[in-house]
Amino acid sequence: MSGLEFGHRIVGAFAADTPATLELHCTNRLDTEIIATTPRGPSLPFPGRFGWDVSGDTQLLLYPNGEPDLWFQIDENELVPVSEVLPEASEDGCWRVPSTYDGIADPSGQISRGIAAESTLTHQYTLYHMYECTPGTYSFSAAVTLTADGFDTEGSVPLRLRVVSRDDGEVTIDLFGTPDDDGS
Contact 59, 133 (CB under 8 A): no
Instruction: Report whether the peptide linkage leading into residue 45 is cis, meaning its omega lies within 30 degrees of zero.
Output: yes
Report if residue 182 sits inside a domain.
Answer: no
Report if residue 170 sits inside a domain.
Answer: yes
Res 181: pLDDT? 61
Domain range for 91: 4-177
Contact 142, 50 (CB under 8 A): no
User: What is the number of structural domains in the chain?
Assistant: 1
Report if residue 184 sits inside a domain.
Answer: no
Q: Which helix (H) or strand (E) holds 167?
A: none
Res 108: pLDDT? 63
Report if residue 40 sits inside a domain.
Answer: yes
Report if residue 73 sits inside a domain.
Answer: yes
pTM: 0.88
pLDDT tens sequence for the chain (184 residues): 568 899 999 999 999 999 999 999 999 999 999 988 887 666 678 877 888 998 888 999 998 888 777 888 887 778 888 888 899 999 988 999 988 888 887 666 677 888 999 999 999 999 999 999 999 999 998 888 888 888 877 777 888 999 999 999 999 999 999 876 644 4
Res 176: pLDDT? 93
Report if residue 171 sits inside a domain.
Answer: yes
Res 184: pLDDT? 42
Report if residue 160 sits inside a domain.
Answer: yes
Any residues with CB less than 8 A from the CB of 82 and at least 6 apart, and which?
63, 67, 68, 69, 70, 71
Report if residue 183 sits inside a domain.
Answer: no
Res 164: pLDDT? 96
Res 17: pLDDT? 94
Res 183: pLDDT? 45
Res 152: pLDDT? 77
Contact 161, 46 (CB under 8 A): yes
